[in-house]
Every structure is written in C-alpha cells, then in structure tokens.
Amino acid sequence: MDVYRRAFLRGLAATGFVGLSAATAGARADVEAGSVSVKDFGAKGDGATNDRAAVVSALRASKSIVFPEGDYYLGELGRSIPSTAISLRGGRIRIRSQGRVRLIVNTIEKAVTTVFGVSSVSDLFVGDFEIVDHGGDARQKWRGAVGFMIVGQTGPSSGISFGRVTARNLVAGILVKGRTANRVSGIRVDRLVCEDCYYGVNCQENGDDMVIGSIETTNCNRSYFVYGVTGHRVSVRSMNGAQASADCLIKRYEFDTSDIVLRYFARGTRIKAPHGLVVFEQQPGPGTGAGVIRDVSVDLDVDAEASTGYPVLFRSYTHDGKPDVNQTRNVWDRIRVSGFARTAAQAVMHAEMLPAKRGRLTVRGGLLTDRSVSDAFEVDAVDG
C-alpha cells in the first residue's frame, strides 16, 4: 500500500466514513433463498458473447441475482439502439458478484448511454463490479456510458447501497438526476474507483443523503460535481492529470445546495488558473431567484505543485454564463475550510465575486486567503 493511500485511509478514519463496509456487509452476505445465477439463464461470461438477454431473464425470474466470476458483455449502446443495458425498478433488489466480475458495453456513437438504469427503487444493493465502456471517450464530454444512472422522474428512490465499483472509460461512475419533487435519497457507496472517466459522481438537482467512503479518480475530468442537493458526506482521492475548470464543483443552478462535508485529498492533480480544485459556483436559472450555497465543510490535503489554480475558489455567473461579480444577490454562508494545501497559486482561497450580503467563512489551520476573500465574506480565522 503506497504512502498516499495510507494517508488517505487515515483521513477517512478521522471523518468516520470508513464504517460504510460494515453498513453494507449484511446485504453483501445476504444470499437468500431464491437467488439465481445469470449463468443459469444462458450467460457465458466470456467477454465476447452478448449476455444482456440472459441477465434480463434472470432479473425477471428473481430480484436477487448473482454474477459468477467472469467478463460479461452487455452489447452495443447508442441513441438509435437500446441506450440502457439493464433497468432496475421496485423493492429489495440484490445484484451480487462472486469473484472478479467485469461488465462490458460498447457505446457506438456520441451519446450518453447507461449500463444500469435505476428508477423508483427501494432497498437496492449492488456488490463489487468493474464496468468498462469500450466505446467511451473521456476526452469528449458526452460520449460513453454511465455506470449507474439513478433518476427521479417516475418516483422517489431510497435505500441504495454499493460495494466497490470500478469504472473505466465512462461518462460517470454514478449519476443522479431529476428536477422533480421525487427525491433520490439514502445512497451509500463503500468505494468508487474511476479511471479515464469524465466524472466520478455527478448529482443534477437530485441525490440527497449520500455517503461515499472513497471516490478515487485517475485521469478523470472531474471527481465530484453536485448541485441542488443536501446531506452529502464524501471523501475524494484525486490523482487527475486532466485539465478542467474544477475537480470538485459544488454548484447551484435551480435548487439550493447545502449540508455537504467533503474531505479532499489530491496528489498531482492539475487545474490551470484562473480556475480551482474545489469550486463553489452559482449560476441560478432564469426565474429561480438568488442562489444559496450553505453549510459546507471542506477539509483539504492537497499537494499539487503543478496546479496553478486555487485550491478553493468562489465564483458567480448569470444564468446565461456571464460573470456576476459586483453586488451579486447570490449567497455563500456558513462555509468552513481547513487542512493543508500546496499548489503554485499565490493563495489557498480566492473569491471572484462581491456579494451584496456577505456570508460567514470559517478558515481553520492558517490557510492563506487573499483580499478578495475578506471582501466577499465575514471571515473567522481559527487556529488548529
């Protein structure tokens, strides 16, 4: 185990996130009567045969299915052919693996496709899986599959838990969306490992009460991107060489964003000035009024000397993407930042807006801010 990984796990222990595996252990061990193997329905697991029909048949026979060790090809995906490989709906669903299991799809055109489409579920458990899109391209924003697309349009979803999910060449490992009163909530993830993906986790106006023990990203465009959510407890370990405007983006579009605890560990991650590693950004939609980002705590452990971007950045835009700098009506309040950060930027924190009403920012541990931050916030500097 490398020194960065050991340091990261010590940090997880400090936040209390490492107990997630115990929380999902019961579901992982719970192989109840009535579970079926996808191989009993004709799946080969040889990486070449299209096993999608066999998996669908297994799910029709039982809500508790098992993938024995192997590589399962789930076919081509695109706009003009099925865009979703497997759909999950209903209560008490168990998707388990035995040994190393890899699920493979091939997105054949520039489109966002889905390996597992999740909607209107309660009590869903997914075990340890690797998901690969042979047609995915992280250099293109919307070309490839989402590992788990959880949507709220058809009804609320709750009680969703994952073991270890490894994502390669995907648009996102987990994406939650739905501008609706039907909330997706109660998501627990032991560990999400993303390599050569566009996003790690993306929550679009939905996805509350989310706890992730570890998001580990390598060569991804953005590790964590959320807006319109509340109640997140997330740890990110980033080793991203990709160039982006933010690695962790906490944003407000249509709904306010609040109650987020983020532990951010970065080594070698590169963000160019004038952007940032962890960015608080507001861009309220037309007619939605002033935006609010409130009650967010960020603990930094950043050693990224090649990054010229700020470790923490605050900024604001109008709904049509123009800078909203002077006397913006948007509010950032009860923000707390602590930890350690070393980059090529001249300060740890920077603000690119001047709110009409200054919120409160607590800075712990002697992190260096510039004048723009004291102009934008009521700043409390706390030692230790």
pLDDT (tens digit per residue) in 6-64: 544 554 555 455 545 544 444 444 556 679 999 999 999 999 999 999 999 999 999 99
- Looking at per-residue confidence, does 378 or 242 come out higher? 378
List, in sequence order, the alpha helices (H) in the chain: 3-15, 20-29, 52-61, 371-376
What's the pTM value of the predicted model, to 2 decimals?
A: 0.92
3-class secondary structure, 12: helix
Q: Which residues, 6 or more positions from 224, have their beta carbon under 8 angstroms from its beta carbon?
A: 200, 201, 215, 234, 236, 247, 248, 249, 262
Among the listed residues 295, 317, 199, 316, the one whose alpha carbon sits nearest the alpha carbon of residue 247: 199
Task: Residue 128: give the domain boundaries.
Answer: 3-382
What is the pLDDT at residue 23? 45
Q: How far is C-alpha 346 from the chain's CA centre?
A: 29
The amino acid at 185: S
Among the listed residues 192, 235, 189, the one whose alpha carbon sits nearest the alpha carbon of residue 15: 235
Cα–Cα distance measured from residue 309 to residue 272, given in angstroms and rounded to the nearest whole number: 5
Cα–Cα distance measured from residue 260 to residue 279, given in angstroms and rounded to the nearest whole number: 13
Largest pairwise CA distance in the chain: 66
- Whether the predicted pLDDT of 330 surpasses 60: yes
Instruction: For residue 168, give the CATH number of its domain.
Output: 2.160.20
The amino acid at 165: V
244 — pLDDT class (breaks 50, 70, 90)? confident
| Choice among 44-53, 71-80, 210-219, 365-374 with the minimum mean pLDDT | 365-374
What is the pLDDT at residue 273? 87
Cα–Cα distance measured from residue 58 to residue 64, given in angstroms and rounded to the nearest whole number: 9
What is the pLDDT at residue 22? 47
Q: How far is CA 134 from CA 102, 109, 111, 179, 254, in A?
A: 12, 11, 14, 31, 34
Classify residue 200 as exposed, middle or buried by CB count within 10 Å of its CB (0-12, 13-18, 19+). buried
Cα–Cα distance measured from residue 332 to residue 383, given in angstroms and rounded to the nearest whole number: 22
- Whether the predicted pLDDT of 373 surpasses 80: yes
Q: How far is CA 231 from CA 51, 98, 261, in A?
A: 38, 32, 8
What is the pLDDT at residue 26? 46
What is the pLDDT at residue 153? 86
Cα–Cα distance measured from residue 247 to residue 345, given in angstroms and rounded to the nearest whole number: 15
243 — pLDDT class (breaks 50, 70, 90)? low
Among the listed residues 89, 98, 84, the one whose alpha carbon sits nearest the alpha carbon of residue 123: 89
Q: Kindly state the percentage of the chain with pLDDT values over 90.
A: 78
What is the pLDDT at residue 33? 65
What is the pLDDT at residue 314? 97
- Whether the predicted pLDDT of 337 surpasses 90: yes
pLDDT in tens, 158-183: 999 999 999 999 999 999 999 889 99
3 — pLDDT class (breaks 50, 70, 90)? very low
- Looking at per-residue confidence, does 21 or 208 come out higher? 208
8-19 in b/e burial notation, b at 16+ Cβ within 10 A? bbebbeebebbe
For 115-133, what is the mean pLDDT? Answer: 98
Report the number of distinct structural domains present in the chain. Answer: 1
Q: Which residues, 6 or more positions from 6, have their beta carbon under 8 angstroms from its beta carbon?
A: none
pLDDT in tens, 269-302: 888 888 999 999 999 988 888 999 999 999 999 9
- Whether the predicted pLDDT of 242 surpasses 70: no
Could you give the count of Cα atoms lying within 13 Å of 38 in the half-sphere of its Cβ?
A: 30
Q: Kindly state the percentage of the chain with pLDDT values over 70.
A: 91
What is the pLDDT at residue 6? 52
